[in-house]
Structures are given as structure tokens and as C-alpha cells.
Amino acid sequence: MKELNCKLFGHSLVKTNLPFAKIKEYKCTCCKKQFTKDGYGEIVVLDSYWRQNNENLRASLSSK
């Protein structure tokens, strides 16, 4: 039922990381799926590829 609500009305996203972080991550309050923004600013599902990409970006940003 929760997935149907998200399909009909869209996901209800809230930020899951710190507000001053450059890498944005979100979580849907209904279906608990995680999302992130890609290089073009589009919201995509946070799968293993994007999770690894975000970790690499965090590491490179923290080393500067």
C-alpha cells in the first residue's frame, strides 16, 4: 500500500545527511527508499553505484 501511495502521489522526501553537506541524500517517509542527486541535479535512487560515488566524493572533499 505504501508503494502505491508513492506511485500515485510521488515520494515524500526528507534530507538524511547534514544540512551543510555538499552531497544531498534523501529518504522517502512512506516507502523508506533512499535517493540522491546525480551530476545534473536529478533525483535518482541511491543504489550501490551512487552510494560508492557519494563516498568517493566525500573522501575527496574532506581531504582538501
Whole-structure pTM value: 0.83
Q: What's the confidence (pLDDT) of residue 21?
A: 78
DSSP string of the chain, one letter each residue: -HHHHHHHH---EEE-S-TT-SS-EEEETTT--EEEE-TTS-EEE--HHHHHHHHHHHHHHHT-
Give 36: exposed, middle or buried? Use CB within 10 Å, 0-12, 13-18, 19+: buried
pLDDT digits (tens, 9 = 90+) for 17-27: 877 778 889 99
Q: Which of 22, 62, 4 is nearest to 36 (CA)?
A: 22
Q: What's the confidence (pLDDT) of residue 48?
A: 96
